[in-house]
Amino acid sequence: MTKTLAPLQIYFIRHGETDWTLSGQHTGRTDLPLTARGEAMALGLATALQGIRFSRVQSSPSLRARSTCSLAGFSDPDVQLEPELAEWDYGAYEGLRTAEIHQRHPSWNVWTDGCPGGETPAGVSARADRLIASLCEQVSGKIIAFSHGQFGRVLAARWIGLPVSQGQHFAISPASISILSFESAHPLRRVISMWNSSARSD
């Protein structure tokens, strides 16, 4: 008898709060730790995710994602570091706030313009597509991925076939839980079955 594989479900987790989350600075490759509140957010994820069996646990290589993953209850031997889950590379705009960038380039929009010395919208879109293709080919059942806000919005847009620019309409909070999956009645149709759900009570 052939065993039927469970359909893929991606539990996407944005990392907890950092100092630059609070300040609004663009945080791509800068390796910041979580704040104390960010650590508490990550601990709250452990309760929300308790009892769910995952066939794969992946994390962006960044400290903030790995710390969130660990505090959420996933130990290092079980975690695969996945470079494709890294945040958008902001290049020359790393560490700047949007208002500061607009002082130099008033019409700038990361979703259409990208960042000088960093990733273009086409580049980050291609990265999301590679990740999606890899997961669809290799994994079944529930997986969990600890990553970043901007990349999560890109991934959601590409999951349902939208251009990367539409990711700007998917707000995502620190330490939130989102689920990308397939519709049960239409097994080839990709859907966003949960988005930006808070594990916190505050």
92-147 pLDDT tens trace: 999 999 999 999 999 999 999 999 999 999 999 999 999 999 999 988 999 999 99
Mean pLDDT of 170-183: 97
Query: What does 55-106 look like in DSSP terms, one character per residue?
Result: SEEEE-SSHHHHHHHHHTT--GGGEEE-GGGSPP--GGGTT--HHHHHHH-T
Burial of 29 from C-beta contacts in 10 A (0-12 / 13-18 / 19+)? middle
The mean of the pLDDT values for the chain is 95
The reported pLDDT for the residue numbered 139 is: 87
The per-residue pLDDT for 200 is: 60
How high is the pLDDT of residue 159? 98
- Is residue 51 within 8 Å of residue 77, measured between CB atoms? no
Topology annotation, domain 9-198:
Rossmann fold (3.40.50)
* Per-residue pLDDT tens over the stretch 28-61: 999 999 999 999 999 999 999 999 999 999 999 9
pLDDT at 66 over 90: yes
For residue 2, the model assigns a pLDDT of: 47
Counting other chains too, the contacts that 179-185 makes at CB distance below 8 Å and 24 or more residues apart are 179/9, 179/10, 179/11, 179/12, 180/9, 180/10, 180/12, 180/155, 180/156, 181/7, 181/8, 181/9, 181/10, 182/7, 182/8, 182/9, 184/7
Residue 78 has a pLDDT of 86
pLDDT exceeds 80 at position 27: yes
Contact of 145 with 11, CB cutoff 8 Å:
yes
**Catalytic center residues:** 15, 87
Residue 150 contacts residue 118 (beta carbons within 8 Å): no
- DSSP for 106-173, written as a single string: TT--HHHH--TTS--HHHHHHHHHHHHHHHHHH--SEEEEEE-HHHHHHHHHHHTT--GGGGGG----
Residue in the block written with tokens 């590379």: 89
Q: How far is residue 113's CA from residue 57's CA, in Å, rounded to a whole number?
A: 32
Q: Are 201 and 195 in contact (CB under 8 A)?
A: no
List, for residues 157-167, the tens digit of each pLDDT value: 999 999 999 99
Range 17-36 average pLDDT:
98
